[in-house]
């Protein structure tokens, strides 16, 4: 176990070194000093109270969406529809957040988030039903349902919950939530809020669930070998619906937290791709709930660095996006190429024996 941990650590360090070299080349092309720029970026992102708050602010939603995606990926279900599911959750949370005027602050927060979770879980059950009933590929169906949710919530807001008659896309919004519904700030006056704590706690709870509970054993068995799980008497259909619901609900909290903690109303296009970012965080963490935490923090640092680098240099944030893509590509290559090479080597040895 210790040797495996050392190997994984060295592998990620190598990936970071490769990404850093590529980033340095891109920065040199722009005529900037990569070492000096890196030092300035880290000073702004991690050396000031505002920088730390911004880094953690961007880490908070992707920890939640990354965990939601990892829940599905661990059992071989390709739910890449968290981006759409969080939109559904966000709309329901916003409506509850401004309409339930008689509830106590804590109760209002719990009800608003729970309503969003239920809505996202129900929306996630659509591709689950299509998969179980007609064997519709869940990657395709969840991807298409992302667009249905994005444009569908915009239509619903326009038709029934519009704050004003404005037609500018950014102003397609609901009323503002009640002050009592807002999530508490961790580092006032900055946007970082208690959704970070929620995400970390959920990651720990799901790790413990997978490791020590009967349900976790069943889900691990399903993810390891679906045929063995079926022969072992597990109800594959019920577990599939459960995994989709859990994945959608947890990912949906990311949308609810953005409404209650950041935007304070549902605004068209509020997500900025946090569902897709969660997918990449899940890949970096190899679907490990505990790994989601450092992966999400690292992703938040990269996200914040992209904004900082534009403010202090001639390098634009797309350079950071390139680094993100390189890191994910290398991690994904290791995730899928290494098992392929092992299988190939095993098959070669078997042929030699025969």
Q: How many residues does the chain have?
A: 354
| pLDDT at residue 354, as a whole number | 57
pTM of the model: 0.93
How far is the C-alpha of 292 from the C-alpha of 65, rounded, in Å? 10
Query: Per the domain annotation, does 186 fall within a domain?
Result: yes
Q: Are 174 and 181 in contact (CB under 8 A)?
A: no
Query: Per the domain annotation, does 125 fall within a domain?
Result: yes
Q: How does 183-218 read in b/e, with b if 16+ C-beta sit within 10 Å? A: beebeeebbbbbbbebbbebbeebbebbeeeeebeb
- What sign does the CA torsion over 344, 13, 35, 320 have? positive
Q: Are 219 and 243 in contact (CB under 8 A)?
A: yes
| pLDDT at residue 82, as a whole number | 98
Query: Per the domain annotation, does 336 fall within a domain?
Result: no
Query: Per the domain annotation, does 24 fall within a domain?
Result: no
Ordered per-residue pLDDT tens for the chain, 354 residues: 667 778 788 888 888 999 999 999 999 998 999 999 999 999 999 999 999 999 999 999 999 999 999 999 999 999 999 999 999 999 999 999 999 999 999 999 999 999 999 999 999 999 999 999 999 999 999 999 999 999 999 999 999 998 765 555 557 899 999 999 999 999 999 999 999 999 999 999 999 999 999 999 999 999 988 888 999 899 999 999 999 999 999 999 999 999 999 999 999 999 989 999 999 999 999 999 999 999 999 999 999 999 999 899 888 888 888 888 999 888 887 766 666 666 666 666 666 665
At a CB cut-off of 8 Å and minimum separation 6, what does 108 contact?
96, 97, 100, 178, 180, 181
Distances (CA, A) of 151 to 86, 116, 156, 253, 257: 13, 18, 9, 20, 20
Query: Per the domain annotation, does 104 fall within a domain?
Result: yes
| pLDDT at residue 163, as a whole number | 76
Which domain covers residue 139, as residue numbers?
64-298
Nearest to 267 by CA among 117, 195, 181, 162: 162
| pLDDT at residue 347, as a whole number | 64
Largest CA distance in the chain: 76
Which structure tokens are listed for 63? 């920890």
Q: Are 215 and 209 in contact (CB under 8 A)?
A: yes
Distances (CA, A) of 135 to 140, 146, 223, 248, 272: 11, 19, 18, 19, 31
User: For 130-139, which contacts have Cβ atoms below 8 Å and span 24 or more sequence positions?
Assistant: 131/77, 131/240, 132/237, 132/240, 132/241, 137/78, 138/77, 138/78, 138/79, 139/78, 139/80
How far is the C-alpha of 271 from the C-alpha of 263, rounded, in Å? 10
pLDDT tens-digit series, residues 103-134:
999 999 999 999 999 999 999 999 999 999 99
Query: Per the domain annotation, does 17 fall within a domain?
Result: no
Query: Per the domain annotation, does 42 fall within a domain?
Result: no
Query: Per the domain annotation, does 210 fall within a domain?
Result: yes
How many other C-beta atoms are found inside a 10 Å radius of the C-beta of residue 150? 17
How far is CA 178 from its chain centroid? 27
At a CB cut-off of 8 Å and minimum separation 6, what does 300 contact?
55, 56, 57, 58, 59, 60, 62
Token pair 């009933």 in the structure block, residue? 133
Nearest to 163 by CA among 261, 272, 267: 267
User: How many domains is the chain built from?
Assistant: 1
| pLDDT at residue 171, as a whole number | 78
Q: Are 63 and 323 in contact (CB under 8 A)?
A: no
| pLDDT at residue 319, as a whole number | 87
């Amino acid at each position: 176990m210790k040797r495996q941990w050392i190997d994984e650590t060295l592998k990620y360090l190598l990936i970071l070194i490769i990404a850093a070299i590529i980033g340095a080349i891109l920065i040199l092309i722009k005529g900037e000093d990569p070492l000096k720029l890196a030092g300035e970026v880290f000073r702004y992102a991690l050396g000031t109270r505002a920088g730390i708050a911004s880094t953690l602010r961007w880490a908070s939603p992707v920890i939640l969406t990354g965990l939601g995606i990892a829940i599905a990926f661990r059992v071989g279900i390709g739910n890449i529809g968290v981006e759409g599911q969080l939109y559904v959750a966000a709309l329901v949370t916003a409506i509850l957040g401004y309409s339930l005027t008689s509830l106590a602050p804590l109760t209002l927060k719990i009800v608003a988030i729970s309503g969003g979770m239920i809505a996202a879980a129900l929306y996630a059950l659509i591709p689950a039903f299509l998969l179980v009933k007609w064997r519709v590929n869940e990657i395709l169906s969840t991807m298409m349902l992302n667009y249905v949710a994005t444009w569908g919530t915009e239509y619903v807001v326009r038709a029934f919950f519009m704050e004003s008659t404005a037609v500018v896309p950014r102003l397609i919004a609901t009323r503002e939530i009640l002050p009592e519904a807002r999530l508490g700030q961790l580092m006032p006056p900055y946007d970082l809020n208690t959704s970070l704590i929620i995400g970390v706690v959920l990651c720990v709870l799901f790790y413990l669930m997978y490791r020590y509970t009967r349900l976790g054993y069943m889900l691990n068995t399903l993810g390891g070998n679906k045929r063995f799980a079926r022969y072992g008497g597990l109800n594959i259909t019920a577990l599939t619906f459960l995994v989709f619901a859990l994945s959608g609900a947890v990912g949906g909290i990311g949308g609810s937290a953005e409404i209650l903690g950041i935007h304070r109303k549902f605004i068209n296009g509020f997500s900025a791709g946090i569902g897709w970012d969660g997918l990449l965080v899940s890949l970096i963490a190899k679907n490990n709930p505990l790994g989601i935490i450092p992966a999400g923090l690292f992703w938040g640092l990269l996200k914040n660095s992209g904004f900082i680098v534009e403010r202090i240099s001639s390098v634009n944030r797309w350079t950071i996006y390139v680094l993100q893509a390189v890191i994910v590509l290398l991690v994904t290559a290791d995730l899928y190429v290494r098992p392929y090479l092992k299988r190939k080597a095993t098959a070669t040895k078997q042929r030699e024996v025969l």
